[in-house]
């Protein structure tokens, strides 16, 4: 472990301890987060034996998902915003700052940020730029009729609060999980058994798109088509660029346009 990693680990441990003490992070999640950091650090090591790497991967994936989604009964993360319902009573939507998910995303970004390999495909930057520019509008345009969304602009303060959580919790963490841990790992695994470029890039993209749909919408209902298009375009932007910032940016703008201008939640 180099000095940079040691310093990051120490800061992470202090932050986690402070969040537990103030009641913003469950103790179980704190322990899981330390496990995620250790496994992610070990997983990124070059020259790791193939079967050991597979074993670490099979432990890391469910642990990341559990830490990001588990919330003990009676516990609530800090509330970022609340949308009132049509009638008096419970709000129609509440957005909490899932600190476990945010820290998981940071750990994956820090430890698994892709190192470009000499044999990896990188498309012309113009294609990545066009994907980032056009994909959010395309996804939202498909979602409006399919999900029967209607015009419902939000106050600027609510847009700003949502943007902060959207960027640092939702988009960054989910794309780090989908692209760096799943798609990139599958791409590397396929590359070891096949020199076929299309198979190396297309197989991970399709598999992770199915996983993205299953996590967000299940595998039935109209929302499947919207999440399938979204997941595919997020993954395609990563395939074209090998840069995690592109899918994060597209994911952010899709969520932000939906929340800011249209009926929300679904």
Mark whether 154 and 226 lie in a shared domain.
yes
Q: Helices (H), strands (E): how many in the chain?
A: 11, 2
200-223 burial, b if ≥16 CB within 10 A, otherwise e? bbebbbeebbebbbeeebeeeeeb
**Domain tally, the chain:** 2
- Alpha-carbon distance 53 to 51, whole Å? 5
Domain boundary among 84, 111, 138: 111
Q: Are residues 43 and 60 in the same domain?
A: yes
pLDDT of residue 47: 82
Say if residue 205 is in the same domain as residue 103.
no
Assess whether 228 and 133 both reside in one domain.
yes
Task: Say what the pLDDT of residue 92 is.
Answer: 80
- The answer to whether residues 59 and 117 belong to one domain is no
Q: Indicate whether 176 and 265 sit together in one domain.
A: yes
Last residue of a domain, one of 59, 93, 111: 111
- Asked if residue 249 and residue 140 are part of one domain, the reply reads yes
Q: Looking at the structure, do residues 240 and 134 belong to the same domain, yes or no?
A: yes
Among the candidates 111, 145, 160, a domain finishes at 111
Query: For the chain, how big is the Rg over CA atoms in Å?
Result: 19
- Do 195 and 67 share a structural domain? no
For the stretch 226-258, pLDDT in tens is: 999 999 999 999 999 999 999 999 999 999 999
* Residues 47 and 174 placed together within one structural domain of the fold: no
Q: Are residues 74 and 62 in the same domain?
A: yes
Give the pLDDT score at 115. 67
CB neighbours (10 Å) of residue 172? 24
The reported pLDDT for the residue numbered 223 is 87
Give the span between the Cα atoms of 38 and 107, in whole angstroms: 9
Give the residue ranges of the chain where pLDDT is below 50: none
102 and 134 share one domain? no
- Check residue 117 and give its pLDDT: 61
Domain with 52 in it: 1-111
């Amino acid at each position: 472990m180099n000095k940079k990693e040691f310093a990051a680990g120490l800061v992470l441990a202090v932050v986690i301890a402070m969040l537990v003490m103030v009641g913003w992070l469950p103790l179980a999640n704190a322990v899981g987060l330390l496990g995620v950091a250790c496994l992610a650090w070990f997983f990124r090591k070059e020259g790791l034996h193939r079967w050991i790497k597979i074993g670490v991967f099979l432990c890391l994936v469910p642990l990341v998902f559990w830490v990001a989604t588990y919330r003990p009964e009676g516990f609530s993360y800090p509330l970022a915003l609340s949308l009132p319902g049509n009638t008096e009573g419970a709000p129609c939507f509440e957005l909490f700052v899932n600190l476990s998910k945010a820290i998981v995303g940071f750990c994956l970004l820090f430890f698994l940020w892709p190192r470009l390999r000499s044999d990896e495909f990188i498309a012309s930057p113009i294609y990545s730029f066009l994907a980032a520019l056009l994909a959010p509008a395309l996804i939202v345009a498909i979602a409006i009729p399919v999900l029967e969304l209607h015009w419902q602009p939000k106050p600027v303060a609510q847009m700003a609060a949502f943007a902060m959580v959207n960027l640092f919790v939702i988009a960054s963490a989910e794309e780090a999980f989908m692209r760096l841990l799943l798609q990139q790992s599958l791409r590397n695994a396929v590359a070891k058994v096949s020199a076929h470029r299309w198979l190396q890039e297309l197989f991970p993209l399709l598999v992770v798109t199915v996983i993205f749909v299953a996590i967000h919408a299940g595998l039935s209902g109209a929302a499947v088509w919207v999440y399938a298009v979204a997941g595919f375009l997020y993954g395609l932007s990563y395939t074209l660029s090998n840069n995690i910032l592109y899918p994060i940016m597209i994911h952010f703008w899709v969520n932000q346009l939906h929340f800011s201008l249209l009926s929300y939640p679904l």
